[in-house]
Amino acid sequence: MFSHLHNHFTGSFSDSALRIDEGVKKAKQMGHEALAITEHGEMPFVYEFCDACRENGIKPIIGVEIYFVDDARKAIETKNNNRYHLLLFAKNETGYRNMVSLVSESWTEYNYNEKRGLVDWGLLEKYREGLIGSTACFFNHISQAYIKNNPEDADKIFARYKEIFGGDFYAEIGKHGIADEETSNKGLLELAKKYGIKPISTNDVHYLEIDDWVAHDMIIKTRFEKISSFKAESHDFWLKSESEMLYSGHKQQYLDNTQEIVEKCAFDLTDAPAAKYTEVENPDAAVKAGDAAFASDIEYIDREKATYYAEQIIGKNHPDVKYYADRIAGIPRKLTPDINKIVYLKDIKRHIPLKVSAGKIISQFSEKSCVRAGASVQTVARSPLSEALLGAKKVIDKIFE
């Protein structure tokens, strides 16, 4: 029995071609009983994911792949761009609230140039209750030390994670045909044996089918609007069946071990009771007090850009150019602030994941999901002068895009 526990849906902005509805339906067709969502440092679509899982009779596992550093404040002060990956899963209500709080705080207190929220040892210790940890891909802290021939450091880091998570820590084994990954696997298996930790098999999923690597390639090449030469190290990141995982070289025991995490996770995300709030008179003050955030808009890859990217990357005369344009059209790019709306909820960071964009603390959830989480979404009242200044700013921003 196997469940995919490392999956990047389109909430891993500009790094995934896997749509939630398609991924969940395929998992069900393959006979999987559970599926996890583990976006990069954010949790924008957990309600949509849980809805899709319920509709298809799949158990949803809510997770996130955080960006980890030893000391977040120091990393920001020294402009150190280096970071590591770590997977977290919510076992229960406490774990989910802690996960949301950790993600929110990583962004509001320790965001790196508004590119990502950083989590360090202190933040992980603060919010560890109710969470399961997994080493993630070979860009994790432990494996990178091992790959760089620092086995003693790898051992110390592994031991510290074990101290934090106890029996809820797992060593993640991937098989994507990458040399450094095999070095990582060797080191992780040695440490897992030493510390009595179970290895689990994952596939770090970024797209649906084997040929969707082309769509993924288009997305990652155009993440900054211009077409770059960036490419993934492997084309093995599709949502595989259990037999395909075995064919890739995974051991049945490690595939079966994923079910231990599935069984431990007993949290069901439901709608919070609707509450009535008075109008927020001072949005910035409410945000500063930790009881509100600005709403967010999603920027998508539109049809025109999708066609342009496909034609430029695989060629105008390629027989599948329209197909791949269709595969990336409508994929979310990023969240941007909607400063005309405020999301109000007491101690909002525990209920709605937050992030920072254009200098504003915003909700990672859509307005609909914010309401489902119990928040009140209100229109921000502005003076005629404020409206005029905002209009002028939008025109200037458009000119310099």
Longest dimension (CA), the chain: 67
- What pLDDT is attached to residue 365? 98
Geometric angle at alpha carbon 129, from 127 and 132, rounded to 5°: 100
Distance between CA atoms of residues 154 and 176, nearest Å = 22
Helix (H/G/I), strand (E/B), else coil: 290 = coil
Long-range contacts, stretch 228-231, CB < 8 angstroms, 24+ apart: none
Distance between CA atoms of residues 51 and 61, nearest Å = 12
Distance between CA atoms of residues 89 and 85, nearest Å = 14
Are 198 and 171 a contacting pair, CB within 8 Å?
A: yes
Specify the DSSP class assigned to residue 210. G
Q: Which of 285, 325, 278, 274 is nearest to 302 (CA)?
A: 325
Geometric angle at alpha carbon 217, from 81 and 48, rounded to 5°: 80
Phi, psi at 65, each rounded to 5°: -105, 105
**Series of mean pLDDT values for 10-residue runs along the chain (401 residues):** 97 98 98 98 98 98 98 98 98 98 98 98 98 98 97 98 98 98 98 98 98 98 93 97 98 98 97 82 94 97 97 96 98 97 96 98 98 95 52 51 48
Distance between CA atoms of residues 349 and 367, nearest Å = 15
Output the pTM of the full model. 0.94
Distance between CA atoms of residues 31 and 3, nearest Å = 9
Residue 175 has, within 13 A of its CA and on its CB side, a CA count of 14
**Residue positions counted in the chain:** 401
Structural element, H or E, at residue 213: helix 213-221
Phi, psi at 18, each rounded to 5°: -95, 110
Distance between CA atoms of residues 339 and 391, nearest Å = 12
**Other Cβ atoms within 10 Å of 299 Cβ, number:** 12
Structural domain boundaries in the chain: 20-264, 283-399
Six-digit token pair at 194? 């030493």
Q: What CATH number is given for 20-264 in this structure?
A: 3.20.20.140
Phi, psi at 59, each rounded to 5°: -80, 120
Burial 40-67 (b: 16+ CB within 10 A, else e): bbbbbbbbbbbbbbeebebbbbbbbbbb
Distance between CA atoms of residues 378 and 339, nearest Å = 11
Structural element, H or E, at residue 378: strand 376-379
Helix (H/G/I), strand (E/B), else coil: 168 = helix
